Structure 1
């Protein structure tokens, strides 16, 4: 079940839309499905752009989208026009991405920041390029060896078919010896699929 929260951050003068991550009891089945069931859908108005059917429909064809749009409109009626920040974790990151793109393309919203955590891939290379053009202020945080950002799988030899992340990834990992362990935050390249970041281990 997809859930989202819409609120106002007065210190940032922004509307914040936050999507809940994958529920713990369903994460294993969800990961297995992403390994084996890549269901493609043509993204409306963008030739050759393909997206994951399940993620697209979880945002566009449920009451979540209408609820968010109504909430954003209500907030703007009370507080006036505001920038929008969108965030989400895991599957919620996929929903957050579709939401940010929807708000920009279909409603002319100003997305000052999209930040996702452990987000799976949601579309092919054409879609990733289209997304980056419309929602450039994006940070995808990946955590060490988390499997979810590597789903659906990336197939190097099938560039038209494979799914691809949009930039920019920030990879969190640990280095050290013995008891001296340091947390490192690496800003990855602009490809969305930096082989020296989280993909280094898969």
Structure 2
């Protein structure tokens, strides 16, 4: 199943038409379907690229541009986890994308770690899955220097963060970290995830919602991932059902 999802996401990105002639500025404070389809879904899709060149190809064929692409990957339990950061000069935006689950074994491991092993305290409120916490910090340590550099270079740009499945959980933590750390203005940050699992407990979800203004989870009724883990876990942000 997860192989099928990965293949579908990659095929959509690689087969997409160049939308460079359809560019527009996005100015809104609530969910926007064009923004979801034209920008955030391609960001989550591009995160499945095996290297920076693949990510660049995905972005150029969907969003129409992408500069300064930097990817960091690291082995994690039963798979490889990855994230990237890039710039969209035309939109005045820094984008951050996180790769989702690559294979069934990785999804199973996420479930085991989230429901059986100890919770992990989140420094900014509540508790989160130990697996998600460890994975986030591993990937973030490889990305943060480039993220900070781009923020320093473009302090007035927006920051758009996305991910699918596991990538959505990592994107959620990255968003919370950036907003809480005061590195960026909260209203400059937009988070949108696709098929994201629950990340932490109610205290975490409440703390997240109190600090992050723009956060949407796009979910499909037939996708089981957004409904797990169950016991003790809560979703943050607003849900968009498709």
The answer, yes or no, to whether TM exceeds 0.5 is: yes
| Matching of residues 128-167 of structure 1 within 5 Å | 128-154=205-231, 162-167=232-237
Contact 1:19 1:87 in 2 (8 A): yes
8 Å CA contact 1:90–1:118 kept in 2: the answer is yes
Deviation at 1:44, TM superposition (A): 1.6
Greater share of residues in strand: 1
Root mean square deviation, CA, Å: 2.0
CA distance in 2, matches of 1:105, 1:35: 24
Q: Larger Rg: 1 or 2? A: 1
Specify the SS of the correspondent of 2:100.
coil
Name stretches of at least 5 consecutive residues in structure 1 with no aligned partner.
155-161, 173-202
> Is the CA contact (8 Å cut-off) linking 1:3 and 1:20 kept in structure 2?
yes
| 1:16-51 C-alpha deviation (Å, 9 max, x unpaired) | 0000111125345336526742531222253xx111
Tell me what 1:198 maps to: none
Distance (Å, rounded) in 2 between the aligned partners of 1:94 and 1:76: 22
Deviating more after overlay: 30-39 vs 141-150: 30-39
Matches of 1:129 and 1:42 in 2, distance apart? 15
Contact 2:124 2:207 in 1 (8 A): no
Give the TM-score of the pair, scaled to structure 2: 0.61
Q: For structure 2, list consecutive stretches of 5 or more residues without a partner in the other structure.
A: 1-79
**Partners of 1:32 and 1:112 in 2: how far apart?**
29
Paired positions, count? 161
TM-score in terms of structure 1 length: 0.72
Say whether 1:92 aligns with 2:167. yes
Hey, what does 2:43 align to over in structure 1? none
Report which of the two has the higher share of helix: 2
Residue 145 of structure 1 deviates from its aligned partner by 1.3
Q: Would you say the 8 A contact 1:38–1:152 is kept in 2?
A: no
Q: Is the 8 A contact 2:111 2:229 kept in 1?
A: no
Choose 135-144 or 78-87, whichever is displaced more.
Answer: 78-87
Helix, strand or coil at the partner of 2:171 = helix
